[in-house]
């Protein structure tokens, strides 16, 4: 192909890719941008593909493409812009600040770029301040400063109340009704739920064993991401949680969706009501870095207090990382490991009472994804690893398991089965962020059978508050 023909083909493919991007069909856009790059690589094409990868939450690939764009054209400002956003998505704020500074230097009159630079600088400074004042005694808890007895209930409060009986089924019915009508639980009771949830999670092992009796239904749900009204729809379709209708929610309860507070209070409430029949796995978004960027931290501060946001961080660090059902089904939010020979005992012995590290067993459990190729490859997210069918098979054989259930990824039909049926993804947030057009799903199994059965559903309406309403503008470029 001549140089002129390659350039012409690249332009045509770019235009098609741009159209797919505008239609929010990001995977198709990535494919077309890739074909255009193969025909005639350019900084613009790499920059555009970087943006599409960001939309697909593939921050690692987005970072790679933005860097390639900059290498091809050091003056390509959007390359720095895209790379800054990729760094922000990964919580690498100092690197993001460097790129935002490059944008402001190149475009000194760009007020939007200046605003983002200053916001990023503020985050870096705040992190430095937090590190400077951090108390050496890591056992000191935010909860220690709480005095629930001193919190009075306003005379005009008409929501559900907690008394000496604690959480009851009646309280949960009243809570769901109040929250579904855009009401708010009094902060005293919200704090009480958090403190009791922290206490119960602290007693849980890192890897929880679940026994489902023969003939009993058990439900596994994937990411909820603050989509409260879709969460209520799950209960409508599948029945309210109870001792005879147990659930496992597999991480990413919060962030992005703007009803994350409502989601987490209801989920924690059911955990307290049915501690041996309602289970929760930690996701990668149950972390301070993610919450700071993707909305939960801002939502809690808006609806309650900064102090409560700090307490949520503590509670999240107590949530178990994985479950095994009937000694045969391994359930975790992200996936498998960057090294062979990891055992269930290794997971049980993993210290989870912390923010997620950037490597190791805990990181992989929260961040990894399956791929079709054998072996392993660097993560498309920039954290964790991508693992092939042989990795899944080795892990299952070594630990005498039948299959893996994980979440963490949007799937068009709400679920996906790969690796010869040995690795299942379930994602329970339909029309993710009000733009992906995907369905949601949950899995039912029955004790004594364990064959997964899938229920797929569409999104339901919600009040007119857009997703990411509380998120940092730095991830909304």
Contacts of 447 (CB under 8 A, 6+ apart): 211, 212, 213, 214, 215, 216, 218, 326
Is 288 a catalytic site residue?
no
- Exposed, middle or buried by CB within 10 Å (0-12, 13-18, 19+), for 139? exposed
Helix locations, 23-110, DSSP H = 26-39, 43-55, 59-72, 77-89, 93-106
> Quick check: helix, strand or coil at residue 164?
coil
CA pair distance 442, 424, nearest whole angstrom? 11
Catalytic residue among 285, 288, 323, 333: 285
Return the half-sphere exposure (C-beta side, CA atoms, 13 A cut-off) of residue 436. Answer: 26
* 143 closest CA partner among 318, 351, 285, 296: 318
* 429 closest CA partner among 468, 464, 456: 456
Contacts of 233 (CB under 8 A, 6+ apart): 457, 460
- Contact between residue 242 and residue 280 where contact means Cβ atoms under 8 Å apart: no
Contacts of 461 (CB under 8 A, 6+ apart): 229
Q: Residue with structure tokens 């769901």?
A: 176
Q: What token pair was written down for 62? A: 């987005």
Pairing of strands 415-418, 423-426: antiparallel
String of DSSP letters for 362-415:
HHHHHH-EE-SSSSEEE-TTSSSEEE-HHHHHHHHHHTT--EEEE--S--TTSE
Task: Give me the active site residues, please.
Answer: 285
């Amino acid at each position: 192909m001549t140089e002129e023909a390659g350039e012409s083909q690249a332009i045509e493919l770019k235009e098609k890719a741009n159209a797919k991007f505008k239609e929010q069909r990001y995977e198709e856009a990535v494919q077309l941008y890739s074909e255009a790059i193969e025909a005639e690589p350019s900084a613009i094409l790499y920059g555009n593909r970087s943006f599409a990868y960001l939309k697909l939450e593939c921050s690692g690939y987005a970072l790679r493409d933005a860097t390639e764009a900059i290498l091809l054209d050091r003056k390509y400002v959007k390359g720095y812009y895209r790379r800054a956003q990729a760094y922000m998505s990964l919580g690498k704020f100092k690197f993001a600040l460097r790129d935002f500074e490059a944008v402001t230097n190149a475009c000194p009159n760009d007020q939007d770029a200046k605003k983002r630079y200053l916001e990023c600088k503020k985050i870096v400074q705040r992190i430095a301040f937090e590190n400077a004042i951090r108390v050496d005694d890591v056992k000191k808890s935010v909860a220690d400063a709480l005095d629930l007895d001193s919190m009075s209930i306003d005379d005009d409060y008409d929501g559900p109340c907690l008394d000496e009986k604690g959480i009851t089924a009646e309280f949960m019915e009243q809570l769901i009704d109040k929250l579904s009508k855009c009401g708010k639980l009094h902060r005293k009771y919200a704090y009480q739920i958090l403190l009791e949830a922290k206490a119960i999670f602290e007693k849980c092992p890192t890897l929880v064993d679940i026994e489902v009796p023969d003939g009993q239904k058990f439900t596994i749900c994937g990411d909820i991401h603050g989509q409260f009204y879709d969460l209520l729809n799950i209960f409508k379709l599948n029945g309210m949680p109870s001792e005879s209708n147990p659930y496992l929610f597999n991480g990413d309860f919060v962030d992005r969706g703007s009803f994350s507070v409502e989601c987490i209070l209801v989920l924690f409430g059911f955990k307290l009501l049915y501690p041996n029949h309602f289970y929760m796995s930690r996701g990668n978004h149950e972390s301070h870095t993610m919450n700071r960027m993707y909305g939960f931290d801002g939502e809690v501060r808006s609806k309650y207090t900064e102090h409560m946001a700090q307490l949520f961080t503590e509670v999240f660090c107590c949530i178990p990382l994985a479950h095994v059902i009937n000694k045969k089904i391994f359930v975790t939010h992200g996936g498998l490991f960057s090294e062979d020979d990891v055992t269930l005992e290794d997971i049980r012995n993993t210290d989870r009472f912390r923010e997620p590290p950037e490597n190791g067993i805990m990181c992989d459990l929260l961040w990894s994804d399956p791929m079709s190729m054998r072996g392993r490859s660097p993560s498309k997210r920039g954290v964790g690893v991508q693992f092939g069918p042989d990795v899944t098979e080795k892990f299952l054989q070594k630990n005498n398991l039948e299959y893996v259930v994980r979440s963490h990824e949007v799937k068009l039909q709400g679920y996906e089965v790969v690796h010869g049926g040995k690795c299942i993804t379930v994602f329970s947030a339909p029309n993710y962020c009000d733009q992906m057009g995907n369905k949601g799903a949950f899995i039912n199994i029955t004790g004594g059978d364990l064959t997964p059965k899938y229920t797929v559903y569409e999104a339901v309406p919600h009040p007119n508050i857009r997703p990411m309403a509380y998120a940092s503008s730095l991830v909304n470029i």
